Structure 1
Amino acid sequence: MKAVAYSYLRFSSPQQATGDSIRRQVEATTSWCQRNNVALDESIKLRDNGVSAFKGAHRNNPDVHALAGFLNAVKSGRVPSGSFLIVESLDRLTREELGEAVELVLSLVNRGVKIVQLQPIESVLQKPVDITALVLAVVELSRGHSESKMKSERVGAAWARKQKEAATRVVTRRLPGWIDYVDGKLVLNSTKAAVVRRLFSMAHDGMGVFVISKKLNTENVPVIGRTHFKGRPMEWCQTSIYAILKSRATIGDYVPYKCRGEGRKPQGEPVPGYFPPVIDEATFYAVQKGLETRGKVRGKRGKHVNMFAGLLTDARNGGSLTYRHPKGKPSQLVPVDSNNGRTGEWVSFPAAAFEACILSQLVEVKASDIEGAGDGAREVEVASGKLSETEELIRLWEAKMDDPKIVDTVAAKLAGLNVLRRERTEALAEAQRKAASPISEAWGEFRTLADVIASDNSDELRVRIRSALRRAVESVTCLFVGKSGFRLCAARVQFVTGAHRDYVIRTLQRYNGREPSPPQVMSANWPTEAGEIDLRKRADARLVEGVLEELDVDRFGR
């Protein structure tokens, strides 16, 4: 059997990926594999675009960064010992401080991964480690770190200089939405400045950001900033209003920031008088106190782990669905637009009932059912499920290691489980080679984890379920209908393979003298003469809505 190779590409800025670099690296990797009789596994895309390796951010968050996912796969044994990791040069793998960089490289090598560098000199670093190859690797890693460090220092010095000059000249064209750059000067946009003043006036009068967004959207007040996103017009939302109300630019202060994206943070003291102020300081600080007292903003600032984040779609208009967490009441699924005061018909649905019912149905779906594969998909599903089950047991036993009374028992149990994990990892790798089916792995992991959620509703487990769902599910389109104190939900789960499942859920929203009962769910078979119903289509959604409105809720499921 041929050894397996994985190719890793990284670019510190997305612009670097637009040239000829990708084609050149892919051709070089393919050529090396052919010359060395190694099979290149192309089912796993190891590519980090727009990610710096200077501080090791690409080693964290496997849901986002390809290298972090690969490192996890190596640690768990899913990448078998003896595999190759091919990089154009070692500085693509890391540009961290030399001690951290060498530790990363040797940790892979010591786990049996052979690291192939294609440039500037083609070499393979593997066990047993050759001293010459190691010295060359250290030199290459040191060079990469030195280049990034020098660049970081130069950029930092440039920004420090710009901060000092901010009191006397315009140092950046990145401006608040209510300020324009005209003839070398920063001036207020009178129309947008009036909107900002109105925001502060409403907030000062005690209105929360939800009420403000609803009022502005009702009056069709144009948003400040981006006007369209993914082809849809932007509306006022709680997050954007909160950002304006918190911005010191409204009182004329320029706040220098360091880095971009998630790592962006303020650096140094604000520079007063840089922008033309739109409100006075007394109003600004009065509003800050009000925001602190109310603390009503949710959205991106919340910490609830939504297992279906990014997947839920409203069948009525194609918009997104989100969680609303009313104080002292159960969480509800609602259209995002309802949070922003958008007018139009909408119905909420209890989040707990939705999660429990959909998960209970999805765990019954086999990988072969959604993939159209034969025995190969089934083998991957079973092997992946067994491995996930073993890893969950290891996690639970590791949590008991702090108890000195049972440490020997725990150690013995973990030793046996680690042997079992290696065996099941090998079994999964063999099943994957037979089926070449990544979705089967994701679905097997999901089914195992979903069985545990009833007894362990931790954030960690919910994040893992969400990750598995995202790899296998394209969307979950929902239609909520209220009827006689009940809530009805029609849901279409669309898988990435093109397969789908349709369900109907009934839950009691108001008791009205009825005895409390758990939510019910059943597979849907919509009666129609027009062929298959697709809830993602507006016309079909209206047909389904009519069926639900005529449904006898008291005889549901009979």
Structure 2
Amino acid sequence: MRALKQYKNFNNAHWFMPSDKKKCYSYIRWSSDKQSSGSTLARQLKTAQEIAFEQDLELVEMIDSGISAFKGKNAKDGELGRFIDAVENKLIPDNSWLVVENLDRLSREAILSAQRLFMKLLELGITVVTGMDKKIYSGKSVTENPMDLMYSIMLFARAHEESKTKSKRTYGNALGIIEKHNNGERNADGYAIAIKSVGTNMWWSDCSDGSVKPHPVLFPIAKEIINLAINEGMGTHSIVKFLNNKYPDVLTSSKKQDGTWTLNRISQMLKKRVLLGEKVVNIDDVEHVLTDYYPPLCDEDTFYKLRAARQNRNIKPEHTDKVYLFLGRDIIRCGHCGAKMTSHTTNENKEKGKYDKFRYKCASGQNATGKCRAWSFNAIWLDDVVVRLAANHIFRPLHKSKDIDLAIKGLEENLADKQVQIDNLVKVIMSGVTTAAIPKQIAELEDQVQQLTRSIESSKNHRATELTQTVEWGEVDERVLDYHQHEIRQQLKEKVRLSVKQVICQQVKAKLVKFTITFINNITIVAYRSPMTLAFDGGAWNALGDFYKHPVSLTKAEQFKGHIKEPPNKQNVDIAPPADDPVIRSVLISNYYDYERKKLTEAKQKELGVTELNFDQKLDIKNTKILTPSDEQLEAIHKEMFSAPASNIGENDSYQYQGLDDVSSEMMDLLESGDKPKELLHDLTRVEHLTNWANGFSKDVPKVIESQFRTFKHKYKSHIGHKAKSAIHYIDEVNVGSSGIITHRAPIKEPNK
């Protein structure tokens, strides 16, 4: 069902106005401009007014102009479809009446589809009245008199046959022109024969005399657009702005276009092969591709260069004084509707020209498409999150040459298009249309496919041998959070482009955003950001470390522990006295302290009758002084409680390092003694940057940073440290699921509801 937010766009705002009077909805539809200029509207409306008066109903008008019911478009995209959705969502009472001139106003589809729509209306409780004969249909009436149902079926069958006959005449004319075109026939002036009965012709063509000629005014403008896109490097927004300034009155208005240059007109133009002169016609689910139909605007090399450049280029911001790190190359998207996120800069002090609010906004909401609302968030939040999580990491492998990537992309798209063309020609043959030109076209296309395949393979081999490099993130200059530091931000933007595959943004509630960040090594980190707090998935962040899952040699003490195979309460464990080895003795003392604190915790829980102590109680136990154990106590601990220090210990010679949450006490001892293991040193450097980067530089820096395993930053130092139980403490809406991954407790807010 459509989101309820969309109902604000209905033609009649009073559809949902409260009233005690039962409503009569008049549904008026016509499929052509010729009908609209005649008596169709007046005739259908007069009938509805008479029925509303006779039945003491409040009349509400619904009009679908220029929409055909032959393929059910009016029930999917028109006012009739929105009416049905409103009834299903209880916005329109289910005892309302629907007046139509005849049942064929509802549908001209095949009998089963038309009858299904009719029955759906009756099952929803709607009473349907036909103005032609003032016959009333309701769920009750067709149940009591099944002949009414049979009569409706006959009417739908007749309407479908009439539309089908009309469609065959229309399609027959188009198919005749298509066959002539594929056989090489053209008008006497050398131009293609225009197809007017099916679809529309491009705005830069002139088909007024039956030939497809270049429009004397619009064709040069179309060529200028291509030049602006490929040689001037202008984006769609800039091109539209340029055209509306230079050519404001050259386009004619229509039902779908108001005569102005729009983003949709230009973006659709620049991505289709129509630039090469091709026309695509769909008839009865068969796609006919007509080459050399339109006068071409560019050659094939230019077309693929244009397409690849537009898909992969770094889009320059409209204002040269700001650099958004995540714009370009389709990196950042709205998680609610899938649309791109775009930049949004607010100017709080226009007199001084000061731009100091930088945000990302859903492009769908900004363009008012109805799919999403124009929600936004502070752009610095995303900058800060990615810099903190990615710093001091080496991303590999990576291919940095944009020219080769563009070339490969262009070749691959050219290949895909050629394969589609072959498939379409095969479908044409299977549909029964055969000409001598089609087999020749297929053979030529197959030769081109082979050449393109070889070129792609060669380019990929060249890239693999010459361009494989790494992207190293060291510590990042904190000034990158200042949007006026253009050069620094541009340098970081290049790293982002080469390191981040995608960012999905979702609004959990006001001032709380979820980021799902996927890096080029396919590691995805989920992070939540509020004005005060950054919470992120610590497990995924561990996996991003350069030494994650690298083998770590066991220390002497770890090897000793790894030899203990019996459960800790077995009495037959024959182990040398702890005093014989100073390393083992130090390990035992550490374990003894842990053991004693565990007993204190269990005793406190039993005393209070709880299963979990609060923070202050845990802190009291942590600060409780424990006396140094005697040799006898160490020996008892030695026999009773030894186990391997790391959960993933191997065959007594090494184990896989899995980040700071799976480190043996011996490795920590080595760090404190000055023997700095590279694994720990690397991750501790990452923690330092994560915690302290840009402190005091920007008011948008988080005051609290935590994962589900530990708190890295907090106003109170006593709150910092490892968490006894996986949890998120400082954002109420975020929880840790059964799998240990952080998630939102309540459903994420859908902006369009």
Give the TM-score taking structure 1 as reference length.
0.47
Rg (Cα) greater in structure = 2
